[in-house]
Amino acid sequence: MSEPYPRPDPMGADDARFWSYVAEGELRIERCADCATYRHPPRPVCAACGSDVVDWVAVSGRGEVWARTVIHPPTLPAFAARTPYAAVVVRLVEGVFMVGNVVDRDPGDVVVGMPVEVCITEVEPGFRLPLFRAADAGERRQPEDPSSSRRETPRRVTRDATTRDA
């Protein structure tokens, strides 16, 4: 492509933390440490209970395409050379929504309802994005309870923005 990707340059610590995990190859989402409600994009407090203590949970990355479009010119300079391309909104099994792209399907084959899973992809040297690829529907037959079956340790963050193992 002719132009570099527009890169997040977050001012807030919460947003920066999301992108730093992505840079490490992880998709971690904020989950309230008190009531276990997920939220994305990152926010300073839990809208469900008001707690400001969060766990950054490594989530399954699985979900379904909730909405899709195929974008034609004019568009962002970084994307101009690959129009038409598909963009999606994915609903993760944890219940939060993310905008993204599906990397392994032609634009016309990206449809609402298709199961996908995250694939953190280095789109430029040193820059990773949480993209999605088609998932086998069979793998989703029993969505796991994300609060009980994590393999990875959540990282707890309190208002002073220190990180420790939960």
Instruction: Say how many residues touch another protein, by CB under 8 A.
Output: 42
**Minimum distance of another protein from residue 77's CB (angstroms):** 7
Q: Which of 74, 125, 126, 138 binds another protein (CB under 8 A)?
A: 74
Taking CB under 8 A as the binding criterion, the range among 54-62, 70-78, 144-152, 153-161 that sits at the site for another protein is 70-78
Taking CB under 8 A as the binding criterion, the range among 51-59, 79-87, 141-149, 156-164 that sits at the site for another protein is 79-87
* Residues in contact with another protein, shown as a per-residue x/- string from 32 to 61 under the rule CB under 8 A: --------xx--------------------
The values of phi and psi at residue 133, to 5°, are: -130, 160
Is residue 69 close enough to count as binding another protein by CB under 8 A? Answer: yes
The values of phi and psi at residue 18, to 5°, are: -55, -50
Contacts with 28 (C-beta within 8 Å, 6 or more apart), sequence order: 17, 18, 21, 56, 57, 58, 59, 155
Estimate to the nearest angstrom the gap between the alpha carbon of 139 and the chain centroid: 19
* C-alpha to C-alpha distance for 138 and 35, rounded to whole angstroms: 30
What single-letter amino acid sits at 56? W
Whether the CA torsion 106, 108, 114, 120 is positive or negative: it is: positive
Is residue 133 close enough to count as binding another protein by CB under 8 A? Answer: no
Taking CB under 8 A as the binding criterion, the range among 50-58, 69-77, 134-142, 148-156 that sits at the site for another protein is 69-77
What single-letter amino acid sits at 161? A
**Minimum distance of another protein from residue 6's CB (angstroms):** 4
Restricting to residues 88-117, which ones interact with another protein according to CB under 8 A?
Answer: 88-89, 91, 95-101, 112-113
